[in-house]
């Protein structure tokens, strides 16, 4: 299963390179089901893998002029605060077994995976649906952008997800950025949030297999390189629906496995 896991890790970077997101919603399931990493620990691995991969991707977009620093920082700062709040305060106080229903234990790990699956399904639907032309506002709504950043940080902190498909719409609607700039700026925000979240986990004493971590990250970066090259030749908008169906199937699989085969 590990060999298939390394192959699947390429898809993390491939998604980021092609459409500017999606890597994070694949990382945790790959870590949990193919590498048998503990779900809560997998969120720490995911933050590092997606963070490093997004850093490389955002640098590439910076060279192309697609990175808007001010909008990124307005979004990133409040999201960092909420991310650290979740990972340092909220997650540690959630009991391993939250409650039971007729002998079925609702555990912290179960909650993480099920919430993650529902996020995958919601994300997949947004990718499968045809995009409507967005009417851009005349001015950047920085207060709303900061508020959304705070809310996205909560999700990133709990799930170890980069949140690209939540960040990009916010940048389109409230930062008045065209799609290419939204993708580049989103990758930069994901990089900042993910690595700060990972650093907090590391300082908090989370034990990690760094050989495994570096190996998966290297495979993700291979995927990023392939995706970046393909994105110059292929239309990312046409690839989104296909990737959306793949994510939808994975989300349904996780829910089925966690509920029916627990």
Contacts of 87 (CB under 8 A, 6+ apart): 157, 197, 200, 201, 204
The stretch 107-116 carries a mean pLDDT of: 78
The stretch 185-210 carries a mean pLDDT of: 85
Whole-model pTM? Answer: 0.75
End-to-end CA distance of the chain: 20
Task: Name the 3-class secondary structure at 215.
Answer: helix
Which pLDDT does position 214 carry in this prediction? Answer: 94
The stretch 153-173 carries a mean pLDDT of: 73
Residue 133 pLDDT exceeds 60: no
Are 20 and 178 in contact by the 8 Å Cβ rule? The answer is no
Domain count for the chain: 1
Task: Name the 3-class secondary structure at 262.
Answer: coil
Q: 198: domain range?
A: 2-260
Q: What is the DSSP letter of 234?
A: S
Question: What b/e sequence results for 114-148 when a residue is b if at least 16 CB atoms lie within 10 Å of its CB, and e otherwise?
Answer: bebbebbbebbebbeeeeeeeeeeeebbeeebbeb
Q: Where are the beta strands (DSSP E) in the chain?
A: 97-101, 104-107
């Amino acid at each position: 299963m590990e060999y298939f896991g390394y192959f699947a890790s390429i898809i993390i970077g491939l998604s980021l390179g092609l459409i500017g997101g999606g890597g994070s919603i694949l990382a945790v399931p790959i870590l949990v089901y193919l590498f048998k990493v503990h779900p809560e620990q997998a969120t720490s691995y995911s933050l590092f893998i997606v963070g490093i991969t997004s850093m490389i991707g955002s640098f590439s977009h910076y060279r192309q002029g697609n990175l808007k620093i001010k909008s990124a920082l307005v979004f990133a700062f409040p999201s960092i605060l909420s991310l650290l709040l979740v990972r340092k305060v909220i997650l540690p106080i959630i009991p391993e077994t939250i409650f039971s229903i007729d002998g079925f234990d609702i555990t912290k790990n179960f909650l993480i995976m099920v919430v993650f699956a529902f996020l995958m399904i919601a994300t997949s639907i947004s990718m499968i649906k045809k995009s409507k032309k967005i009417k851009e506002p005349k001015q950047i709504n920085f207060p709303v952008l900061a508020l959304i950043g705070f809310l996205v940080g909560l999700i990133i902190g709990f799930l170890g997800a980069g949140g690209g498909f939540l960040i990009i719409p916010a940048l389109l609607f409230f930062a008045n950025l065209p799609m290419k700039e939204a993708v580049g700026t989103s990758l930069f925000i994901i990089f900042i949030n993910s690595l700060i979240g990972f650093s907090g986990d590391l300082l908090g004493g989370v034990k990690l297999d760094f050989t495994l971590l570096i190996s998966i990250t290297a495979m993700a970066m291979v995927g990023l390189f392939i995706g970046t090259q393909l994105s110059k030749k292929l239309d990312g908008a046409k690839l989104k629906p296909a990737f959306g169906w793949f994510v939808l199937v994975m989300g349904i699989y996780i829910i089925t496995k966690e509920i029916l085969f627990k």
